[in-house]
Structure 1
């Protein structure tokens, strides 16, 4: 493989929302990498060179509203249907007919929904941290409003435009450092401490973030990269994903209970609330992910699995990809 093919290159491609910025490395079958909140394409920095060396075309995008991708002004421009079509647009712009899609956090939900709605494009799906739960069930806002008793769940906290922005944007770097630390295995609050996924009434999420120490996976330069992007763009585009969950519930009603049938992979952290709260979703995989090839819960790992445990995740990804039909 040429040196050029092994370097990360950057460009933007057209999408229904304007443009999607992509980082690309390697040649071969396309693997589309979709980040979560609050990150960017950079969250896949450890995976891209390994996938390229293994013979894949690794493409990590900035989700609509993040980084160098377009950030439409309308709140409802961030509904799941639009993000799925952005993924399809990237595949087509790259001259490909199909892709494997891999996502982390919100990216996992975007990846799973992409596979559900456009199975002719997305031939396999890898999910990191957030398990697949089929569309349907109670209205999301009702579920989240009922969580926490006198405390407020972070998804509910994010709903009011401007509220979370007022907490985050005066000190983006400090807020991100605390948020990343709160969900990392080596820096998360100890059992019994106030849960950073909730805000006390009248308080902020940041009140419960650990302070003074970065998690081992996050260097000062890495934090600078993330903070620099959100200082430039603001966080409204990222937060608008949360503000469309009821719209998604309505938009996807026809897929109530539908399984994702393509070959799939799940990797979660044993210390991640996404894994523990949604343990029932993982147990339901024989019905909801009938094409599941392998499922892995990493001991001693928090939420940021591909950054906390890059070597292990890289091995699991490449082993899984090797099982897929060419």
Structure 2
């Protein structure tokens, strides 16, 4: 595809089922919707927006409902997957398009996959970063997560379930908590093998008790951390955490799609040091049947969870190469 001069970032608000959604747009051409994960914002795509725009695409990163400048419904059930998918459809329509490619990271990967599964006519290709596709089905999620770790530890997803509990830990020092959480899952600052795993809590403990206390990871400047912290200090963490609190509802809502593959063109990019990649290795192996139109799975050596920020040039190259095959 022919490259054009990169335009400036454009911020805009569109109407959606969430109420209002904040978007950041750059470039012209085929539409690519970029979906962030926890605890991030549109800003996590700051390296991809100019690269995709320069490659000839209309790249749009959004604040998912509950984050940043987007609306934050008060009801926990307002964060179910079906509603987030309809937000994405509304964004495509608000931008005057009939279809788009969708790329997501972390929770955004799950939302991107569900969008492609439920609306194949709207989302014609899907890119998944860090979290592979696992079709709906299996046991109830909270039952699964409740068994992880055993009686001596609590898995962080279970810790996030009770409204207000994680907020009480995070919100008195948002910046410090975010710095520790980002460092805990970054390749250059994560705990060494054999040290306590920050995905788990000791009985009566806090997540931050197992976070690294050294320097920030190389990908995260003080200014970058200020951006993330400033947003969550303003909004609080409840909207973001409610995504975890609707997992059982999602399991019920998506029951009709149990075991369903995503048949659109797809790509997966993960980090070799990311727990999402290693714990879900079976899901990556199953992509040959769950993502039958998968172009490739890329696992980047020496990379942690924040993949598009830790290794932006590699991710940009892999995404633009994949997107070029779709246009061909």
TM-score, normalized by length of structure 2? 0.98
Partner of 2:149: 148
Whole-angstrom CA distance in 2 between matches of 1:22 and 1:68: 9
Describe the superposition over 1:209-262 as per-residue Cα deviations: whole angstroms up to 9, x where unpaired: 001310000000000000000000000000000000000000000000000110
1:325, CA displacement in angstroms? 3.6
Partner of 1:305: 307
Partner of 2:279: 277
Structure 2 residue aligned with 1:225, among 224, 227, 245?
227
CA contact (8 A) 2:42 2:61 kept: yes
1:2, CA displacement in angstroms? 7.9
Whole-angstrom CA distance in 1 between matches of 2:105 and 2:88: 14
Runs of 4+ in 1 over 3 A off after TM superposition: none
- The runs of 5 or more residues in structure 1 that have no matched partner are none
Whole-angstrom CA distance in 1 between matches of 2:95 and 2:4: 19
Describe the superposition over 1:12-33 as per-residue Cα deviations: whole angstroms up to 9, x where unpaired: 1000110110000000000000
CA contact (8 A) 2:4 2:56 kept: no
Q: Aligned to 1:266, what secondary structure does the other structure show? A: strand
Whole-angstrom CA distance in 1 between matches of 2:15 and 2:84: 13
Q: What is the correspondence of 1:105-120 to structure 2 with a 5 Å cutoff?
A: 105-120=106-121
Partner of 1:288: 290
Describe the superposition over 1:176-195 as per-residue Cα deviations: whole angstroms up to 9, x where unpaired: 00000000000000001110
Q: Aligned to 1:113, what secondary structure does the other structure show? A: helix
Whole-angstrom CA distance in 2 between matches of 1:262 and 1:71: 31
Whole-angstrom CA distance in 1 between matches of 2:317 and 2:169: 38
Q: What is the correspondence of 1:61-76 to structure 2 with a 5 Å cutoff?
A: 61-76=62-77
* Cα root mean square deviation, aligned: 1.0
TM-score, normalized by length of structure 1? 0.99
Partner of 1:239: 241
Partner of 1:35: 36
- The runs of 5 or more residues in structure 2 that have no matched partner are none
Whole-angstrom CA distance in 1 between matches of 2:139 and 2:27: 43
Describe the superposition over 1:109-152 as per-residue Cα deviations: whole angstroms up to 9, x where unpaired: 00000000000000000000000000000000000000001200
Whole-angstrom CA distance in 1 between matches of 2:190 and 2:47: 22
Q: What is the correspondence of 1:80-229 to structure 2 with a 5 Å cutoff?
A: 80-149=81-150, 150-229=152-231
